[in-house]
Amino acid sequence: MDLAALKTQLKNFVQSMFEEGVLDNQFSQIQALQDSTNPNFVEEVITLFCNDAERIINEINRNLGYQNVDFSNLDSYVHQLKGSSSSIGANRLKLACANLRQASDERNKEGCLQALQLITCEYCLLRRKFQALLHLERSIVELETNQK
Amino acid sequence: MFNLRKSMALTLPLGEASDQDKWDNGGLERKRQLLIEIVLRSRLTALMVDGDTTCWVLKQELLRSYGVQTLGVDNGRDAIDLIASDAAFNLIIIEKILPVLNGLEVTRQICEIGMRCKMLAVTAYSGESERQAFLATSVDVFIEKPLDLEHLVPILRELDRQ
């Protein structure tokens, strides 16, 4: 595939993520911050976010596995996940956090488990799409480098 | 505190031709909407207090794009120790939930130390009780994440005028 076609594919792919509500305008701001002085900023942020999100989701899962759930601790994790999701523009994941927060506030363990299931689904979807996005970006960079 | 510097007109990068190629009309419009041009006369400094790495990196880069020198700590105790050691900042951006010492307690102690600067609380959930609790301390602005330009740019302009 040539460079122009790859760029179009990337553009359309990102646009589809906006249209599906997977991303919101905050992600546009992150893309705008990437420049020649920081050419890998988007990839760095996505990588950081995914590492943190997976850690937090695993911690929430572990917490909910205990007979006596520490809901205060759980609330801290949800707070963090919602914050980082909002900051990177992960719209659907951010919204999914609200369900978990409400269930945690109600001390509803079953509700928390259901909400965590949704969060896990949304995160997996987001991660797959981020991986595809980064694959396209790397392909573009490789082609541009080869053409120089 | 500030050092007088040559005026700088800063915009978020509009992008060179190859970057523009990545955007359709809708994308370009979004990028134009993100462009907020400000002229900074001073070199401002900011302290970020946030335990989340993603949020920390994003805020740092956003501030850096406007020429603000940033220092970051990931827990409340380090923030207090820094302020207590006479480190001075124009702006402190603080999260509510922090390791060791929470953001609300940090802002109270900063006030007790006597540090005077603009304080911005940026947190994941902005309930009314949390908002009132922070504003009762020395926090000037309390917003929900993400830190957006609509809140940040007026603050930078105000600090630059001082």
ipTM of this complex: 0.89
What Å distances lie between residue A93 and A32, A97, A100, CA to CA?
22, 6, 11
Mark yes or no for CB contact A48/B57 under 8 Å.
yes
Per-residue pLDDT, B23: 36
> Which of A7, A38, A84 minimises the CB distance to B55?
A84
Does the structure show a pLDDT above 60 at A91?
Answer: yes
| Per-chain mean pLDDT for chain A | 94
Structure tokens at A109: 């363990």
Chain A closest-CA separation from residue B72 CA (Å)? 16
Per-residue pLDDT, B99: 87
Residues of B whose CB is below 8 A from A7: 21-22
Structure tokens at B139: 């926090």
Which residue in chain B is spatially nearest to A94 when comparing CA positions? B124
Per-residue pLDDT, A147: 82
Tell me whether B30 touches chain A (CB under 8 Å): yes
Residues of B whose CB is below 8 A from A44: 57
Residues of A with CB under 8 A from a CB of B: 4, 7, 10-12, 14-15, 25-26, 28-33, 35, 38, 41, 44-45, 48-49, 52, 76, 79-80, 82-84, 86-89, 101, 144
Per-residue pLDDT, B103: 92
Chain A closest-CA separation from residue B110 CA (Å)? 23
What are the 10-residue block averages of pLDDT along chain B, 162 residues in total?
Answer: 27 34 39 60 92 92 92 94 92 93 92 91 87 88 91 92 83
Chain A closest-CA separation from residue B16 CA (Å)? 10
Q: B68 with B44: CB under 8 angstroms?
A: yes
Per-residue pLDDT, A9: 95
Per-residue pLDDT, B119: 95
Domain boundaries, chain A: 3-12+41-146
**Mean pLDDT confidence for A47-72:** 96
**Mean pLDDT confidence for A110-124:** 97
Tell me the count of A-B CB pairs closer than 8 A: 89
Q: What percent of chain A has pLDDT over 90?
A: 88
> Which of B12, B57, B147 minimises the CB distance to A32?
B12
Kindly report the CATH number that applies to the domain delimited by A3-12+41-146.
1.20.120.160
Interatomic CA distance for residues A27 and A71, integer angstroms: 31
The contacts of residue A95 (CB under 8 Å, 6+ apart) are none
Q: A79 with B145: CB under 8 angstroms?
A: no
